[in-house]
Amino acid sequence: MTVTVAVTVDTDNDDVSTASERTALSWRSLQLVPSLAALFAELGLAATWFVRADSQLAEVYGRSDHLLATHAAWWNAFAARGDEVGWHPHVYRRDDDGRYEPETDEGAFVAKLVTTWNELCERGYCFTSVRVGEAHCTDTVMRAFAGFGLRVDATAIPGRVRDDADRRFDWGPTPNHPYRPSVADYRVPGEPPYRNLIEVPLTTMGFRARYDRRPMLRYVNPAYHADIFREGIDRHLDGIRRSASNAVLTMVIHPDEAREHPAQHGLYAHTFDTVRSNLTYLIDAIARSGLTMRTATVRDVAAAFALEVHR
């Protein structure tokens, strides 16, 4: 049995994953990107770098590809060694008080995606994969991505649903494995005709934070406290072994989560050494379980899935 491990990095601004800092943009954590890349290379892990490019960056910095252009040397070097660089749009609107909030009008949401995509194409960017910031998706968004010619969406968080003042997404019925999205419902596999792209979801499993009474369904993130990460991984690998089938394990980290923070957090350790320790533990745990590990980008995962279903 083989476990395909896909490491992904969302290059968001500071504090997004643990707070809601959408307006006062800061990018201190990006200084950790080369260190993360070196760690992945040291451990033999391929990575997919989802780089923000969107209408907010265009408004604030004058161009949607601000991060792509500013750090072009990084992305080019990572791609040259076999990593993938993907598109990571956050779609916001600016309120009357000047604060950025998630765009809730679906027509405006898609229009902003179209504008950014056209700008990126005009500047010569060619992406295969996309992940929408804050996990938002709809059938209209998925149709737009297929129309752009994107081959992979990696937004899904299987089993998770939120509809509150901070986040709005629905991946409740989504399976914990790659699939071709249904035309009628982006969240589930479809029979032909289906969307002409492949969904590579983030792998979800039970992790118990310091403030939880029981394990909660979360995506896999090597920035969690080591004991939390290891308990969830051990349980998940045991399930893979008992199922006697191959599996894909797609994880995500945001650079800010590997940066030291002044306050302690009940889920994130906020140390680079913890990220190293957790990734090393995962590799060793897969071997101890008698499983074979394969490393892949999300583009690789989608290509392997496409080959498998057409045999």
**pLDDT one-digit tens code per residue, 219-264:** 999 999 999 999 999 999 999 999 989 999 999 999 999 999 988 9
- Under 8 Å between Cβ of 84 and 128: yes
Biggest CA-to-CA distance, the chain: 57
User: In whole angstroms, what is the distance from residue 307 CA to residue 47 CA?
Assistant: 21
CATH of the domain at 17: 3.20.20.370
**What torsion do the CA atoms of 25, 31, 36, 39 make, to the nearest 10 degrees?**
-170
* pLDDT value of position 311: 41
Mean residue pLDDT of the chain comes to 95
User: In whole angstroms, what is the distance from residue 208 CA to residue 204 CA?
Assistant: 13
Reported as a pLDDT band with limits 50, 70 and 90, residue 45 is: very high
Q: Which residue's structure tokens are 């009474």?
A: 213
How many domains is the chain partitioned into structurally?
1
Q: Which residue's structure tokens are 């957790």?
A: 278
- Under 8 Å between Cβ of 202 and 152: no
Q: Mind listing the pLDDT tens digit for each residue in 110-154? A: 999 999 999 999 999 999 999 999 999 999 999 999 999 999 999
End-to-end, the C-alpha distance of the chain in Å comes to 18
User: In whole angstroms, what is the distance from residue 182 CA to residue 243 CA?
Assistant: 26
Domain that holds residue 246: 2-309
* pLDDT value of position 309: 53
User: In whole angstroms, what is the distance from residue 7 CA to residue 36 CA?
Assistant: 11
51: amino acid identity, one letter: V
Pair type for strands 2-11 and 84-88 = unpaired
Tokens representing residue 63 in the block? 């161009």
The mean pLDDT of 63-74, rounded to a whole number, is 98
Task: Establish how many alpha carbons lie within 13 A of residue 42's alpha carbon, considering only the half-sphere containing its beta carbon.
Answer: 11
User: In whole angstroms, what is the distance from residue 249 CA to residue 220 CA?
Assistant: 8
Tokens representing residue 300 in the block? 């690789």
The mean pLDDT of 45-56, rounded to a whole number, is 98
Q: Mind listing the pLDDT tens digit for each residue in 245-254? A: 999 999 999 9
User: In whole angstroms, what is the distance from residue 114 CA to residue 64 CA?
Assistant: 12
φ/ψ bin of 246: left (φ > 0), alpha (ψ from -120 to 50), beta (otherwise):
beta
Tokens representing residue 228 in the block? 């939390």
**What torsion do the CA atoms of 305, 303, 181, 153 make, to the nearest 10 degrees?**
130
Give, to the nearest 10 degrees, the angle between helix 272-288 and helix 226-243.
20
User: In whole angstroms, what is the distance from residue 287 CA to residue 15 CA?
Assistant: 34
User: In whole angstroms, what is the distance from residue 211 CA to residue 220 CA?
Assistant: 18
Rounded alpha-carbon distances, angstroms, from residue 270 to 101, 259, 261, 262, 273: 26, 5, 6, 9, 9
- Under 8 Å between Cβ of 180 and 310: no
Nearest of 156, 146, 176, 159 to residue 245 by alpha carbon: 176
**Over 80: is that where the pLDDT of 17 sits?**
no
The mean pLDDT of 159-170, rounded to a whole number, is 92
- Under 8 Å between Cβ of 293 and 49: no
